[in-house]
A and B are shown apart, each in its own frame.
Chain A
Amino acid sequence: MKKKNIKIPKPDILMDRLKESEQEKYREFLDDINLHLQLPKKQKALLINDFNNALDYYLKNDIPFEEAINRLSPKQLGGFYAHPAGSWYPLDNAAIIYPLSMKFGQMPMFRMSAYLKEDVVPEILQMALDFTIKRFPSFATILKNGFFWHYLDSTKKRFTIEEEKILPLLPISSSRAQSFRVLHYKNRISIEYFHVLTDGFGGSIFLNTLIGEYLRLLGHDIPCGEFLWDIDATPHEDELSNEFAKAKLQKGASGFMGKTATQMSGKVSAIFPCRVVHFEMNSKQLHEVAKRHNATVTVYLLAQMFLAQKYATEDLSGDIRVQVPVNMRKYNGSKTIRNYAMYFSCDLPTSEIKGSADDLIPNISEQVREKSSEKDMNKMMSTTIKLVQSLKFVPLLIKKPVATVVYGFLGDKIFSNYLSNLGVIKVPKEMNEYVEKYDFILGPSNVCRASCGLITFNDKSVFSITKTTVDPSYEEKLYELLTADGIDIEVTGSAVYGD
């Protein structure tokens, strides 16, 4: 295992900078930290090091010592690092498939990023994570094999931030013993989640709460809210519940199976993802254009995606099918941060995709309205629950290879593309002035050449495309279609990683 050089400002160095009265307080401060940490020696040293690094940063930036130790009060650690790891969580019904269907070099993941108006201070971000994690006990877990099902087992350790150096959404190394990755790069804070932990909703709450704490540690007054949780509050059981277990089973079945969909023609790259592209748009402008077409933003973008997808494929037979996740919380107001989303598929025969977006919108609108109805979603949820129940006594040893083969045969092949619209990110207005925008990237698929995500913050909507083919025709066509409709787009993204 590669050892990392840890920058440790020695307490002596800090001591030299402190007045005599402050030195006594610093010793008390260290004693107080120690009281909150009942961890193995190495983990304890890492956490104390985090406090020292943050203190060092404050002192270098002329923040008075008293103010610095107030901001870093060890009370904020709560009992998280002092309690032994005892809790565990069975996977929710939506997450169950993820570890079963994992193939070589792949991990179902998604990523959310927030772009601040100033560069990130790593020392403070690490402290913010040290303080925030206690509020999200289901995130402080690692996946384990059970005899019948996988489960999430809690782990007590110092969760680490990293400087972004690697490919986005690269599977999390097994030796890390954590199921998410907090990255920073210039002014961007990103969290990459293993999908067994949460969905986009839960992911956005954690990201907002982490950023809120980060800004507070930098001295800004950020209140808590519905989508930015108070890190000192006690986690509520509703936040950790498996909502599928509470659902009333419906009669009738909603199938997961389907015919294989038409894919884009570009060669699948050996490296996933081989590129990430963001279209940054003005949200009002996007909304107005969609309205002009008598469509919602999701329907309008779906129409343009179908047109671009057809342009990027040479296979003119079959159907193009886009999977659209639906946040089930909108039907019952659930507060859970576990996975609680179902999906529907928006299908169009390739031969019928012609003309302009206006020609496709009535059909797509109708499909979205019908297929995302509460009744249909509940039916699908019931099917998921029944499937899970029927397999509950089958050992994992048998389920895993069967699921891998079945998922390999169908899985992503029944879709051509994905569109996950996370909607508008709401944070307290005091935070608005420090955050520029958000983006949301779906994990790469080894079949679908593109997966798309949309997120809106303030006046900026960011449409992100995760590519698994170098062929740029899809995003180029989409760009052409959107700009032709009068939408101003700033395109950002990564270099081409694959070949």
Chain B
Amino acid sequence: MVIKEVYPELSKQNRAILKIRNIVRYVFVVASIACLVTNYLVKGKPWSIVVVWSIFTAWNMIFSPDRFEFNMINQTVKLVFHVCVLLWLIDICLVRTGWYKFVVPIVCFGALLLTAVFLFIDVNAQIHNSMPMIWLIIFSIGFVVFMVVHSEIEWPVIVLGSVAVGILSLSIFYHEEFLLEIKKRFHTN
């Protein structure tokens, strides 16, 4: 059986990309397992959890990007989620001083401002991508409430609350679009 080729030859670059992704995947899995085992054997602080989460973040953000909803707002919020969890893990696993309560709100209000810039630069197009930002606002308000109830309030928490409420109030000008967005996101088919 002779097969007449009717498809273009795959470039070396394309072949390499496909292979590298598969290799990196296995390297990451092996590295994660090795860290967990080593940490278990040598005892001490659970540093391997921080390493595994960092590897997972790198995998998620660089080597296995989202197949859909790949836009600036979504990617920013996704990165912030990974970074906040990482900061929290560093604190509870290694530092244990509770500094995440100070750092996480700074990261969050920075991200809120950035996503707001992305949104308001081109509202008509970006309004369809705004839901991750709404989630971040909800998370931020929840975090502020948590801090008010359970901890001392420092300036980053106040700024975070102000920025979240500020962006929320700005969105009143686009309430119809936001409501449609929420209707789409919460549809039950």
A residues with a Cβ closer than 8 A to B are 40, 84-86, 88, 90-91, 93, 96, 99, 102, 104-105, 107, 142-151, 153, 155, 164-168, 171-172, 174-175, 177, 185, 188, 270-271, 276-278, 388, 392-393, 472, 475-476, 479, 490-495, 497
A164-B8, A166-B10, A185-B8 are contacts. A491–B184 as well, Cβ < 8 Å? no
B64 and A388 within 8 A (CB): no
Known A144-B185, A165-B14, A495-B9; further 11 A-B contacts with Cβ < 8 A = A86-B180, A142-B69, A145-B69, A151-B184, A153-B128, A171-B67, A174-B65, A270-B22, A271-B19, A472-B1, A497-B15
If over half of B's interface residues share one DSSP class (helix, strand or loop), that class is named, otherwise mixed; here it is loop
A40-B125, A174-B66, A174-B67 are contacts. A168–B188 as well, Cβ < 8 Å? no
A277 and B3 within 8 A (CB): yes
- Can you list 16 A-B contacts with CB-CB less than 8 angstroms, sorted by A residue number? A85-B128, A144-B184, A146-B184, A146-B187, A148-B186, A150-B68, A153-B184, A270-B22, A472-B1, A476-B1, A491-B4, A492-B3, A493-B3, A493-B6, A495-B10, A497-B10
Q: Given A105, A147, A168, A188, which contacts B186 in the complex, CB threshold below 8 Å?
A: A147
B8 and A165 within 8 A (CB): yes
> In whole Å, how far is B13's beta carbon from the nearest beta carbon of chain A?
10
> In whole Å, how far is A46's beta carbon from the nearest beta carbon of chain B?
15
Enumerate B169-189 residues with CB–CB distance to A below 8 Å. 180, 184-189
> In whole Å, how far is A450's beta carbon from the nearest beta carbon of chain B?
15
> Which residues from chain B contact A188 at a C-beta distance below 8 Å?
6
B189 and A90 within 8 A (CB): yes
**What CA separation (Å) do A107 and B69 show in the bound complex?**
14
**What CA separation (Å) do A494 and B69 show in the bound complex?**
32
Interface: B122 (CB within 8 A) = yes
Most chain B Cβ neighbours within 10 Å, of A84, A144, A492:
A144
A90-B187, A148-B187, A165-B14 are contacts. A493–B2 as well, Cβ < 8 Å? no
**What CA separation (Å) do A267 and B7 show in the bound complex?**
23
Which residue of A is nearest B184, CB measured? A88
A145-B69, A165-B14, A174-B66 are contacts. A492–B189 as well, Cβ < 8 Å? no
**What CA separation (Å) do A90 and B187 show in the bound complex?**
8
**What CA separation (Å) do A188 and B18 show in the bound complex?**
25
A392-B188, A497-B15 are contacts. A144–B2 as well, Cβ < 8 Å? no
Enumerate B84-118 residues with CB–CB distance to A below 8 Å. none
B7 and A168 within 8 A (CB): yes
Which residue of B is nearest A85, CB measured? B128
**What CA separation (Å) do A172 and B65 show in the bound complex?**
12
A146 and B186 within 8 A (CB): yes
Q: Given A105, A164, A270, A479, which contacts B7 in the complex, CB threshold below 8 Å?
A: A164
**What CA separation (Å) do A171 and B21 show in the bound complex?**
14
**What CA separation (Å) do A355 and B124 show in the bound complex?**
65
Which residue of B is nearest A245, CB measured? B189
Which 10 A-B pairs have CB atoms at the shortest separation, nearest pair first?
A174-B70, A494-B7, A143-B68, A392-B188, A492-B6, A493-B3, A492-B4, A479-B1, A146-B185, A90-B189
B185 and A147 within 8 A (CB): yes
> Which residues from chain B contact A102 at a C-beta distance below 8 Å?
67
**What CA separation (Å) do A493 and B6 show in the bound complex?**
6
Which residue of B is nearest A275, CB measured? B3
> In whole Å, how far is A332's beta carbon from the nearest beta carbon of chain B?
21
> Which residues from chain A contact B25 at a C-beta distance below 8 Å?
104
**What CA separation (Å) do A155 and B19 show in the bound complex?**
32
**What CA separation (Å) do A165 and B5 show in the bound complex?**
14
Interface: B151 (CB within 8 A) = no
**What CA separation (Å) do A321 and B133 show in the bound complex?**
46
A104 and B64 within 8 A (CB): yes
Enumerate B48-82 residues with CB–CB distance to A below 8 Å. 64-71
**What CA separation (Å) do A90 and B189 show in the bound complex?**
6
Q: Given B18, B71, B189, which contacts A388 in the complex, CB threshold below 8 Å?
A: B189
Which residue of A is nearest B22, CB measured? A270
A175 and B70 within 8 A (CB): yes
**What CA separation (Å) do A305 and B8 show in the bound complex?**
28
Q: Given A40, A151, A166, A472, which contacts B187 in the complex, CB threshold below 8 Å?
A: A151
**What CA separation (Å) do A328 and B89 show in the bound complex?**
52
> In whole Å, how far is A132's beta carbon from the nearest beta carbon of chain B?
22
Which residue of A is nearest B9, CB measured? A495
> Which residues from chain A contact B131 at a C-beta distance below 8 Å?
145
